[in-house]
Chain A
Amino acid sequence: MTALRLGFVIVVAAVLAALPLFGSDVIIQFGINALLLAVLAQSWNIIGGYTGYASFGNSVFYGLGSYGVAIAMVQWNLPFAVGMIFGVALAVVFAFLLGVPVLRLKGHYFAIATLGLAQVMSAIVSNVSVAGQNIGLVLPPLNNDRLFYELSLVLLIVATLTVFWLTRSRFGFGLIAIRENEEGAAVMGVNTTLYKVLAFALSGAITALAGGIHAYWITFLDPDSAFDISLNVKMIIMAVFGGPGTVFGPVLGAFVLSAISEILSSKVTNVAGLFFGVVVVAAVVLMPRGVADVVRQFRKSGWRYFAENLKAHRI
């Protein structure tokens, strides 16, 4: 990474960190949501973008993180930090137990199998009394949006540094090799099963932390909102829009799409969903490798870049 780019990233992080000092309550609340979505997109990037396994089960990790915090704080009267650790522990255990069988599947089969996990978890949690069954749990309120904002920002920085580490470590190269050709990776000495499960667990741990922060901020959760499939779809769209398998793509995607969806839903309420759909379809057709790839290629090929992608789709 060049010094210039590093400087730019630090400035952006500093501006984001200072935002609560001059932003309104609405801006801060929007910021918390956007930052948490960026964390989710970034952690999906680890398993989906770098390892090549399109997980629809990451919302399970989010739910486990939420319930970890809620159960620890409501049922056991433990501090928030302990709840976060409990949530991460649940997510990691889940990743290891279910990752081993599920990560044997590839492509669509893996996607479908993970899609089922969120449904199953929601049904299971609805019957666990310590988790408040299908009524849910109400957490002790903490009216400090600035704190939640800064916590979310720190988590996003940690997630992004983790992904940056992947691009220059042996572990990350193992994951990329698995994505590019799994059998080829195995005969070169990559322990593919272990690496896939570790990537799943790492992705899950970060996702769980985001879920924990969100639960404490919103102060209420029930099985349907905690294990929400549409949240998983959102993180995939954001990561893919920004550029899967890149360090900053998913963050960029999350910020841009959060902003678009926020503006649309306040200006043109009834057709906002439709517009959002159009944005996503246009993005997939015109820039299938995400914004990050446009930034990289635009200087070389200019507007032809979009024309070429259009042609490649045979439209």
Chain B
Amino acid sequence: MSAILEVEHVTRRFAGLVAVSDISFKLGQGEILGVIGPNGAGKTTLVSLISGTLRPTAGDIVFEGSRITRLGAYRRARLGIGRTFQIMRPFPGLSVLDNVAVGALFGHTAESDLAKAREKARAQLDFVGLGKFAAQRAEELGGPNRKRLELAKALAMQPKVLLCDEVMAGLNLVEIDEVIEVLRKIRESGISILVIEHVIKAIKQLSDRLLVLHHGDKIADGPPDTVLANSTVIEAYLGRRRP
């Protein structure tokens, strides 16, 4: 499997705090890579470094063989990196449809015609199951539907890599299964995915490979079953077993 995204020795410091420390990994073409770790492990920082809303203190990010470390967020979006936010960032005053249309207008396959962009947006809304909310204002959507909206907005950009920051948080079991199904379909359409998730059962089902972060360090990387059985990982989550 050739890599579409490579993270090379990336470090990010916030004053004295090292949020992400010398992390390297590759995301394969068409792969679903799960990233887990306790709160404060540096997961969201990692996604922000890849999407360009934060710049690394050291290290490099390579997308499709070229270095994108110094590119701004909007240029990375146009190259084909889409992301969702854990703390959702909808355009509250715009209709649900137009929220998604912005993705089609400015994303990887930037569509200059508004009517065509709205057409593409409608298809994405149907895909994530928000079709009937198209005319509502985004601020009127409830929690689970806002998560779906984040996904539809990122998908409308027609990205090559999708970074999902906790798209399942706060959803019930049925809704989680629906999202898993949607993410699988996205992968089938050829998009590589990096998912951050707290719901271990879901991420185990979904991921081809798991990456575990703890205090900004990578402590494990491998097939889900092996990683979840790893004693360092168990320790990070549950603490050290008493002798």
Contact = CB atoms under 8 A, between A and B. Distances in A.
Interface stretch (B96-104, B182-190, B196-204, B224-232): B96-104
Interface residues of B toward A: which range?
20 to 34
Contacts of B53: 183, 186-187
B78 A189 contact: yes
Q: Of residues A181, A185, A191, which shows the largest number of chain B Cβ atoms within 10 Å of its Cβ? A: A181
Interface string A155-196: 000000000000011100110110011011111111110000
A177 B52 contact: no
Contacts of B77: 186-189
Contacts of B107: 188-189
5 contacts: A176-B91, A187-B52, A187-B74, A187-B83, A188-B157
B220 to A, nearest CB: 28
B11 to A, nearest CB: 22
B106 A168 contact: no
Contacts of A176: 91, 93-94
A170 B106 CA distance: 8
Contacts of B153: 184, 188
B102 A185 contact: yes
Interface in B104-155: 105-108, 110, 112, 114, 117, 153-154
Q: Of residues B72, B98, B105, which shows the largest number of chain A Cβ atoms within 10 Å of its Cβ? A: B105
> Which 7 pairs show the lowest CB-CB distances between chains A and B?
A180-B91, A184-B89, A189-B106, A189-B77, A186-B73, A181-B89, A191-B74
Given A169-B114, A170-B112, A173-B114, A184 B85 contact: yes
Q: Of residues B77, B117, B157, which shows the largest number of chain A Cβ atoms within 10 Å of its Cβ? A: B77
Given A173-B102, A174-B106, A188-B107, 12 more contacts: A170-B117, A174-B102, A177-B102, A180-B94, A181-B92, A184-B89, A187-B85, A188-B102, A188-B154, A189-B108, A189-B110, A245-B93
Contacts of A245: 93
B74 A186 contact: yes
Interface string A245-284: 1000000000000000000000000000000000000000
Nearest to B105: A170
B193 to A, nearest CB: 16
A186 B102 CA distance: 11
Interface of A: 168-170, 173-174, 176-177, 180-181, 183-192, 245
A189 B52 CA distance: 11
A190 B94 contact: no
Contacts of B91: 176-177, 180-181, 184-185
B114 A188 contact: no
Contacts of A174: 102, 105-106
Nearest to B108: A189
Nearest to A52: B93
Contacts of B103: 188-189
Contacts of A192: 74
Contact of B72 (A169, A185, A186): A186
Interface string B64-81: 000000001111011000
A174 B74 CA distance: 12
A173 B93 CA distance: 12
Contacts of B52: 186-187
B51 interface: yes
A181 B88 CA distance: 10
